[in-house]
């Protein structure tokens, strides 16, 4: 809407010569560029499937995160919000933390069981384009629903692993008990 008002003002003030058409062409190019960026940003959304979370932030960042690596997902509030670019988008690594944010509210922190390689610039002095991260910060439009859904998917696997671990521990204790009983039992002949 603003660009239309500016266009009308320029049309009224300028004479219709080559400069007018140049300014009109530049405004049209700027409008198309901003519209395309806006479309790309609105078209980017994180996708949660039963096996993975596809983290997407417009044309700037895309990552497939296997849900088997997610140990914990929780809502957090940022004490010091990262500074975004012109569109207030932040995609960078800081240590083992990845910021993939389009705003400072509705932030979800994903803690991973092992580091994954991502392609995002580092905020440190090396400015490398790739690095390992163990924490990922993303935005969710409906954080409570997102957390509920991801917890339902992730937690059963973790609970099964815990049950399996407990069963293995119990079996190990039973085996050791049998060995002790076998050693203590006198040889009756």
Taking the C-alpha atoms of residue 63 and residue 137, their distance in angstroms, rounded to an integer, is 13
For residue 135, is pLDDT > 90? yes
Taking the C-alpha atoms of residue 49 and residue 42, their distance in angstroms, rounded to an integer, is 20
pLDDT in tens, 55-114: 887 777 888 999 888 888 889 887 665 665 555 677 888 888 888 888 888 889 999 999
- Largest Cα–Cα distance of the chain, in whole Å? 119
Residue 8 confidence (pLDDT): 74
Residues 6+ apart with CB under 8 A from 100: 55, 57, 61, 63, 90, 91, 120, 136, 137, 138
Q: Are 108 and 143 in contact (CB under 8 A)?
A: yes
Residue 122 vs residues 41, 61, 98, 131, 137: alpha-carbon distances, Å: 22, 14, 9, 8, 15
Provide the strand spans (E) within 7-159: 47-48, 52-57, 61-66, 70-76, 90-94, 97-101, 107-119, 130-139
Q: Which sign, positive or negative, has the C-alpha torsion 81, 86, 90, 93?
A: negative
Q: At 188, is the pLDDT very low, low, confident or very high (cuts 50, 70, 90)? A: low
For residue 6, is pLDDT > 80? no
Residue-averaged pLDDT of the chain: 78
Which of 160, 134, 138 minimizes the C-alpha distance to 147?
Answer: 138
Which of 50, 46, 70 minimizes the C-alpha distance to 141?
Answer: 46
Can you give the pTM of this predicted structure? 0.61
DSSP letters along 68-94, please? GGEEEEEEE--SSPPP--TTS-EEEEE
Which of 120, 99, 119, 118 minimizes the C-alpha distance to 110?
Answer: 99
């Amino acid at each position: 809407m603003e660009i239309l008002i500016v266009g009308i003002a320029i049309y009224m003030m300028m004479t219709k010569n080559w400069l007018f058409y140049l300014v009109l062409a530049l405004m049209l190019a700027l409008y198309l560029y901003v519209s395309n960026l806006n479309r790309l940003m609105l078209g980017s959304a994180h996708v949660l499937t039963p096996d993975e979370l596809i983290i997407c932030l417009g044309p700037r960042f895309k990552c497939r995160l296997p849900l088997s690596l997610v140990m914990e997902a929780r809502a957090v509030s940022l004490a010091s919000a990262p500074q975004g670019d012109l569109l207030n988008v932040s995609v960078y690594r800081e240590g083992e933390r990845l910021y993939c944010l389009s705003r400072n509210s509705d932030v979800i922190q994903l803690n991973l069981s092992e580091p994954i390689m991502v392609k995002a610039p580092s905020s440190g002095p090396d400015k490398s384009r790739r690095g390992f991260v163990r924490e990922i910060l993303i935005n969710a439009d409906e954080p409570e629903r997102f957390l509920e859904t991801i917890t339902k998917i992730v937690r059963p696997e973790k609970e099964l692993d815990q049950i399996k671990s407990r069963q293995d521990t119990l079996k190990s204790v039973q085996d050791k008990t049998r060995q002790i009983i076998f050693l203590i039992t006198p040889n009756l002949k």
